[in-house]
Structure 1
Amino acid sequence: MSFGLVQSTDISKVKALWKLLFQDSDAFMEYYFDTKTLTNEVLVYKEMEEIISMIHLNPYKIIVNHVIENIDYIVGVGTQPSQQGKGYMRKMMLNTLKRLYNKGHSLTMLMPVDEKIYDGFGFSFIHNRYEVFIEDKNILNDYEDIYKIENVDGKNIHKMEAFYNNQIALTHSICIKRDCNDFNNILKELISEGGSIINFYKNDLHIGYLMFYNTEDLFDVREILYADYSALKSILGYIKSIAKSNKLKINTHNQGIHYFIPYGDKSKIILKPTIMGRIINVEKFLKLFNIEENFNINIKVNDFIINENNDIYKWINEFECNTIIKTNDTPDLELDISTLLEWLFGYIDFKSLVNLGKIKINNHEIYHKFMDIKMNNNIYINEIV
């Protein structure tokens, strides 16, 4: 039994395992293995000539408080059905997390099919999205034909990068950095599954875009970005005008969409935890956060997966200058690695984490200080693979 990077001679076996586990179309498989595997790492457990388990590490750049970090987004996690339940995936994940630590990464992320798989490895949810389900598209307003519509292709993909940067990268404290190459890959992925991207303009001003799949059974919106509510109203009207199906599903990260969805038995809006994260290197991770308040705090972090993280950290924040050092001083508070991520990404506030018993307080002055500090949870992450 061996663990490591897949050899080029075994890519066909990885493809076969992916097809067996995820049942993706041939067109999507061609896109993924012709495009994503040019830059990613595929880690496998191999016994004799058989691939037993695999994990794919797809590289992205994440912006955290104006700092750009390289991360690996975990996808394609799976084990041969005949070998499941034997602990291979646990060994895979443990080795993968150690590999990410040795690569110098501060964190990693994934979109789980089942969160229980990852709870025991120090992952926690960091981001939610809204899923809008509409049974009858006719409850939406009609489309106002005052906007210019443009199909996105390789020639105008740069316009999406500029719009994304203005709407997301410049306004969110945490988001995935996208460039033209990233949007081109997203377009290829959409096309492989019959999807499209539309840009919207008003008076030659780019006011939104729509990524979607339009089938007889469902109009499925993968991503919708807009400059303001007027643009959103128009895009929803456009969806109504072109949808082949009466049934719509819209994935969005802005709850403002509920202003335009009539309440009733023909619609529902669900807040769904979507992205999980995992701190890989505590020191590097803490340095990403310059908090306006001055403080000097000792934090005991429990991490029983990556032992190098299992320590006490003195975190000194003065005049938004961040210093992190390991110490033997008595900790002011204690928490585990997943709770630290929930707190600093603003997914759960400090007071609630204490009340939930996820943070142990040894210094009540620190408790009262951090109880009033609100972490910025303005996050946008919507990557699939």
Structure 2
Amino acid sequence: MMKEKVRQLWERCFHDSPAFTDLYFRMRYSNEVNIAIPSGESVIAALQMLPYPMTFCGKTIDTSYISGACTHPDFRGKGVMRELLAESFGRMHTQGVLLSTLIPAEPWLFDYYTRSGYAPVFHVQTDIFTKDADSILTSDYSITITDSFDPQLYACFEQKMQHRPCCIQHTAEDFKVILADLRLSGGHIYLLHPMQQYDATAAMAFVYPDEPNGLLVGELLADSEEEARLLLQHICQMNGQTNLRLLCPVSKEREGEKLGMARIIDVHAVLQLFAATHPNIEWNLTITDEQLDVNNGYYYLNNGHCMKSAKRLTGSHLALTISELTTKILAPQHPYMSLMLN
């Protein structure tokens, strides 16, 4: 019953195709990840907390991605969603989640979510790949195209994604959702294989139709720049394209465009990990979190350790909101997310 009520609210608030809505509620939604505010026989606000692993400070941590956050039009502007977000943060903290992430559906929502402690730390860079007229696929490689799940394909994808040091990861079940969305959009995965190594993949590209009449590479993973270019070159040749639009992590030379936001859920646990990988840092912090009282307090980073205290120790302190702390910790690491259902 709850699933049907949440879907009715979703269909009222969003303008997704019936096919995408079917996919989401078949493969992504569950009552366990849902949190909602009922009113009579209806649901007036809801969101889903989708679990994603993330590489962070040399470890893999648990994060929770806010999806489908929506409020009935008759109840907007009354603080309902802020109440729901605060409730979700408490549940995340109890479950051992260290970070929450999301992708705002509209540009103005960046400011809205900042008031609940989020910070715009995920950026994306858009590059244009142009086909080299003289390049050809050598006999050293072969190309295959797929949109079907295969354990070996997922293992290769996971292994390549794990090399990114501060990046949202995808489980095998989530990879199946990515493939279902890829099929729905008319896209494919292109794979570059070294000859004589038929079970190996040197590069993979997730390719979607792009307006007008172009192609978008939503993710590109390769063992080398040369093999990445070779795969992109062949994608152009197969599809009669001169250019491809490519989404990729930001480089140090470019800031990129705002994509997503993060919020620290467990300050002490995050600062413990951060301190361990930055042993030379010495910080005295005063943290204020309006939604999660458990995070409020004084934190001291020294010699690779983090101590929390309810009492202020001597010395000057840097006072930060939870949003400011999230920016301070994550922004320099250039976190990245891709292949999300945004």
Take 1:285 and 1:38, find their aligned partners in 2: how far apart are those partners?
A: 28
Match of 2:152 in 1: 158
TM-score using structure 2 length? 0.85
Distance 1:172 1:132, change over 3 A: closer
Take 1:123 and 1:333, find their aligned partners in 2: how far apart are those partners?
A: 19
Distance 1:121 1:68, change over 3 A: same
1:277–1:341 CA contact under 8 A, matched in 2: yes
2:190–2:235 CA contact under 8 A, matched in 1: no
Match of 1:357 in 2: none
Count of equivalent residues = 328
Match of 1:168 in 2: 161
Take 1:125 and 1:155, find their aligned partners in 2: how far apart are those partners?
A: 32
Cα drift, residue 122 of structure 1: 1.0
Comparing 152-161 with 91-100, which one deviates more in the overlay? 152-161
Deviations 1:260-296 (A, max 9, x none): xxxxxxxxx9821212100112111111211343455
Comparing 238-247 with 51-60, which one deviates more in the overlay? 238-247
Comparing 80-89 with 120-129, which one deviates more in the overlay? 80-89
Cα drift, residue 254 of structure 1: 5.3
Match of 1:210 in 2: 205
Cα drift, residue 144 of structure 1: 2.1
Take 2:97 and 2:209, find their aligned partners in 1: how far apart are those partners?
A: 38
**2:92 matched to 1:100?**
yes
Cα drift, residue 177 of structure 1: 3.3
Deviations 1:5-34 (A, max 9, x none): xxxx12122122222322222222222111
Q: Which amino acid aligns with 1:236?
A: L
Identity %: 23
Match of 2:336 in 1: 380
**2:117 matched to 1:122?**
yes
- How large is the RMSD of aligned CA atoms in angstroms? 2.7
1:217–1:245 CA contact under 8 A, matched in 2: no
Give the alignment partner of residue 228 of structure 1, picking from 224, 231, 243: 224
1:176–1:380 CA contact under 8 A, matched in 2: yes
Match of 2:290 in 1: 304
Cα drift, residue 175 of structure 1: 2.1
Take 2:323 and 2:271, find their aligned partners in 1: how far apart are those partners?
A: 13
In structure 2, the residue corresponding to 1:115 is in which secondary structure?
A: helix
Take 1:196 and 1:89, find their aligned partners in 2: how far apart are those partners?
A: 36
Which segments of 5 or more consecutive residues in structure 1 lack a partner in the other structure?
1-8, 259-268, 349-376
Cα drift, residue 244 of structure 1: 6.6
Deviations 1:292-311 (A, max 9, x none): 43455421112222122121
Take 1:140 and 1:310, find their aligned partners in 2: how far apart are those partners?
A: 54
Cα drift, residue 108 of structure 1: 0.8
Give the alignment partner of residue 316 of structure 1, picking from 302, 305, 309: 302
Cα drift, residue 238 of structure 1: 2.5
1:131–1:251 CA contact under 8 A, matched in 2: yes
Take 2:297 and 2:329, find their aligned partners in 1: how far apart are those partners?
A: 18
Comparing 271-280 with 308-317, which one deviates more in the overlay? 308-317
Take 1:149 and 1:157, find their aligned partners in 2: how far apart are those partners?
A: 19
Alignment of 1:120-269 (within 5 A): 120-132=115-127, 139-142=130-133, 144-146=136-138, 147-154=141-148, 156-165=150-159, 167-169=160-162, 171-203=163-195, 204=197, 205-214=200-209, 217-243=213-239, 248-253=244-249, 255=251
Cα drift, residue 335 of structure 1: 1.7
Q: Which amino acid aligns with 1:253?
A: P
**2:291 matched to 1:291?**
no
Cα drift, residue 120 of structure 1: 0.6
1:150–1:198 CA contact under 8 A, matched in 2: yes
Distance 1:193 1:26, change over 3 A: farther
TM-score using structure 1 length? 0.76
Deviations 1:342-378 (A, max 9, x none): 1222x15xxxxxxxxxxxxxxxxxxxxxxxxxxxx15
Q: Greater relative contact order (Cα 8 A, min sep 6): structure 1 or 2?
A: 2
| Divergent runs of 4+, >4 A | 244-248
